[in-house]
Each structure stands twice: as structure tokens, then as C-alpha cells.
Amino acid sequence: MTEDNNRATIAVFSGDMDKVFAALSIATGCAAAGMETTLFFTFWGLNVLRKDKPVKAKSLLGKMMSVMNRGGIQRLNPSRFSFGGIGRVLFSKMMRDKGVASLEELLQTAVDLDVHLVACKTSLDVLEITRDDLIPEVEDIVGVATFVRDAARSKIQLFI
């Protein structure tokens, strides 16, 4: 059924809750419309794919980063009105009160609809994140050539 170019490829650079919400909503919509959909997570976006525990970094800067940049999809802060973490709680409450799906729910829905989750190798290395720090739903660890191949075959390419 999938024509070769009936694809959507989305680079998720941001780890902001609101932007990730947009990325996951669009990905879910693409997959629901029968498109072969890939989310390519890089830099701060990798926090979406991280387990809810600090990474075991080796270098001093890596250790500092692992303390300051805690991962896990439930820890993402909004791009505005973050208020040092309170914004996340307020936004989550506002979303829940209105019946909007949580980020966790959206990610699970995307996976259920066969959205592919891949992580960028270079940014994993920079942030000293290993495969073991990522959730098992991550299909592969890839580089830019994989992104280019998929994006070139896609009707929808986005960078969020």
C-alpha cells in the first residue's frame, strides 16, 4: 500500500514539551494517514527517548550535563513559562483538564501506529548518552545519511 514516497520524516531537535507535542501530533497524524513515518531525534530531542534516570557520563562536563539535563519524556519543560519546572506541571494540568493526550500517551500511540523512532549517533556521543539510556522503543541509532535518504523519499519533511 505504501508508495515509495508516501513517507514523512521529522527531525526533532527540540526537547521543549510544547514542540515535542507538535512533533508527536504531526507524526501520529501522518502515520494514521498511512504514511511511513520516521522521527529522527537529535540533541535536546534525545531527552524524549531517554529513560527517567541520569546517564552515567564519563567526563566531568558529561557528568555536569547529566545532572542538569535530566531526560525522560515526563521531564520536558515548555519553551515558554517554564518557571524552573513549575511550568511543566501547570501545562500538564491544563492539558489533562481539557482531555488532551499526555506526551507519554502520544508517544505510545505513535509507536502503536508504527512510527519509527531513531536517534542521532553524533548527538548521543556529545551528550554521553548510550543505547542503554534510551527506551527500548528506539529502533536504531543512525547518522545524517539515513535522515537524508528518508527525507528525500518523503512528501513531508519537518525540523522541529
Partner 1 sequence: MEIKADMVQNSIGQLCPMPIAYMAKSMRKLSVGQVLEVQADDEGAHADIPAWCEQTGNEFLGEVAADGYVRYFVKKTAE
- How many residues touch partner 1 under the rule CB under 8 A: the total is 16
**Interatomic CA distance for residues 55 and 123, integer angstroms:** 14
- Position among 51, 75, 87, 100 found at the interface with partner 1 (CB under 8 A): 100
**DSSP secondary-structure letter at 99?**
T
Residue that is written with C-alpha cell 543505547 in the block: 131
Does 106 participate in binding partner 1 (rule CB under 8 A)?
yes
**C-alpha grid cell, residue 1:** 500500500
Instruction: Give least dist CB 107 to partner 1, A.
Output: 12
- Spatial CB neighbours of 136, under 8 Å, sequence gap ≥ 6: none
Among residues 2 and 59, whose Cβ is nearest to partner 1? 2
- Stretch 107-136: interaction string toward partner 1, x if CB under 8 A: --x--xx-----------------------
Residue that is written with C-alpha cell 527525507 in the block: 151
* 154-157, long-range: CB < 8 A, 24+ apart: 154/5, 154/7, 154/8, 154/9, 155/5, 155/6, 155/7, 155/8, 155/35, 156/7, 156/8, 156/9, 156/10, 156/26, 156/30, 156/35, 157/8, 157/9, 157/10
Among residues 31 and 124, whose Cβ is nearest to partner 1? 31
- What residues numbered 27-46 form the site for partner 1, per CB under 8 A? 28-29, 31-34
- Stretch 40-79: interaction string toward partner 1, x if CB under 8 A: ----------------------------------------
Among residues 28 and 66, whose Cβ is nearest to partner 1? 28
Footprint of partner 1 (CB under 8 A) = 1, 25, 28-29, 31-34, 98-101, 106, 109, 112-113
